[in-house]
Amino acid sequence: LCNIFLINLVFDDEEESKLTYTEIHQEYKELVEKLLESYLKEIGINEDQFQEACTSPLAKTRTSQAILQPVLAAEDFTIFKAMMVQKNIEMQLQAIRIIQERNGVLPDCLTDGSDVVNDLEQEEMKILREVLRKSKEEYDQEEERKRKKQLLEPKTEESPGHTSEAAKMSNSQGDGEHFAHLPSGKLEPKQNNNKKGRTFII
């Protein structure tokens, strides 16, 4: 689907959306609706069942989101534009790889080397080099962002450490009664101002 629209239009990542983008998005939406309607009839489910499946927990996984992205893009212009920009970058990088495979190296017109063409062609090649450079940078940044996001995903929390034995000890000794031995062998309580209990003297 994306490749069909990329044939006639190159999407960039500028914040301002061109009028042509919205027109292309409308055409994309109509095409997706027709294809989706035919597919649902083929597998024997209705639109309500499909919407319910799209909102289920299983549809929230990363794999499911990637599969459903073309469908979600039909309803959300922001998703549509981001998807088209990414596809555009992928196609440009693919073209560069094909040129490298066929020629062994990139031609001078796609590198920083000088080329022997007229002024007009030089300007066109300069623009092309800049577009390719920017597209590659954006692609690398997007891949780096995805990698960092995966690394920052919450991990399973470790079980809390053992509570110190000192914290578990009771202070009951300060609440009890204390005894002291006297030569007579009798028990005699002794007041202790620092503790709640009494001390007995024998």
Alpha helix positions (H), the chain? 2-6, 19-43, 47-54, 62-75, 77-103, 119-151, 165-168
Delimit the domains of the chain by residue range.
Answer: 2-106
pLDDT at position 2: 53
pLDDT at position 59: 76
| Domain 2-106 = CATH 1.20.1520.10 | yes
pLDDT at position 172: 47
Output the six-digit token pair for 121: 């062609």
Say yes or no to pLDDT of 27 above 70.
Answer: yes
Question: Please, what is the average pLDDT of the chain?
Answer: 68
Report the pLDDT averaged over residues 135-140.
74
Please write the tens of the pLDDT for every residue from 90-128: 777 887 888 777 777 666 555 554 444 455 556 656 666
Lowest mean pLDDT among 39-53, 56-70, 100-114, 124-138: 100-114
Residue 69: name the closest of 81, 57, 58 by CA: 81
pLDDT at position 5: 54
